[in-house]
Chains A and B, each alone.
Chain A
């Protein structure tokens, strides 16, 4: 079955630590890839997206993600997190004109 998998359910780290969240998908063919973020008490918002071109994409707030086609992966990274990065992060894949989400990773940044 086609799916989007996020490797970690909950990540806890200290400020200034580096963050990497894994995302793998099982769709074949052309896909468009997204990372969405939901801060506490706020609605889902786009962090970054990949449609084509440079597989390393940069988003808001210092986040970046790398698309590795051979590994069906789209991992999210941030070199140095802040307390304000505490949120839930969702990987999403658009395939066959439908957006499918992973289960999400809760990131808690300790001050």
Chain B
């Protein structure tokens, strides 16, 4: 079974530039999550999709971050414009059902450096 795919693996940009990350979940998984992991901290949920609908985006900085999952499969996360404090690893995860009782499977992450 193929795992969660993410690209790119690394990205370096200057502040105020835009950046986009892509995630393809495990086939058949209805729920997709984006996490931000700052160095020295645990992952923090940014947004959760159930199929192509947003379930929770309470911790997404909506003035600069956006995410979509148009066909209920793959997803993109965008930052526009980026700030220095956005430097982090962005993790995508998926699960077959919802988060309560289901294991989340994580991708390798995208390491973003904002200069």
Interface residues in chain A, defined as those with a beta carbon under 8 Å from any beta carbon in chain B: 4, 32, 34, 36, 42-46, 49, 51, 90, 92, 94, 97-104
Q: Which 10 A-B pairs have the closest CB atoms?
A: A101-B42, A44-B106, A43-B108, A43-B106, A101-B43, A103-B42, A102-B42, A46-B103, A103-B41, A90-B42
Question: For the complex, what is the distance from the CA of A43 to the CA of B91, rounded to whole Å?
Answer: 9
**Interchain CB contact (< 8 A) of B56 among A94, A98, A102:** A98
Query: How many residue pairs bridge A and B at CB < 8 Å?
Result: 53
In the complex, the answer to whether A104 meets B42 with C-beta atoms within 8 Å is: yes
A-B contacts, 27 of them at CB < 8 A, read A4-B42, A32-B101, A34-B103, A36-B106, A42-B108, A43-B4, A43-B106, A43-B108, A43-B109, A44-B93, A44-B106, A46-B103, A46-B105, A90-B42, A90-B43, A92-B42, A97-B56, A97-B98, A97-B100, A98-B45, A98-B56, A99-B33, A99-B99, A99-B104, A100-B42, A101-B43, A103-B41
How far in angstroms is the closest Cβ of chain A from B107?
Answer: 6
- B43 CB contacts on chain A under 8 angstroms: 44, 90, 101
Q: Which residues of A contact B45 (CB under 8 A)?
A: 98-100
User: Binding site of B, secondary structure by majority: helix, strand, loop or mixed?
Assistant: loop
* Beta-carbon contact of A98 and B99 below 8 Å: yes
Q: Which residues of A contact B107 (CB under 8 A)?
A: 43
Contact A49 B99 (CB under 8 A): no
Write the chain B residue with the least CB distance to A88.
B42
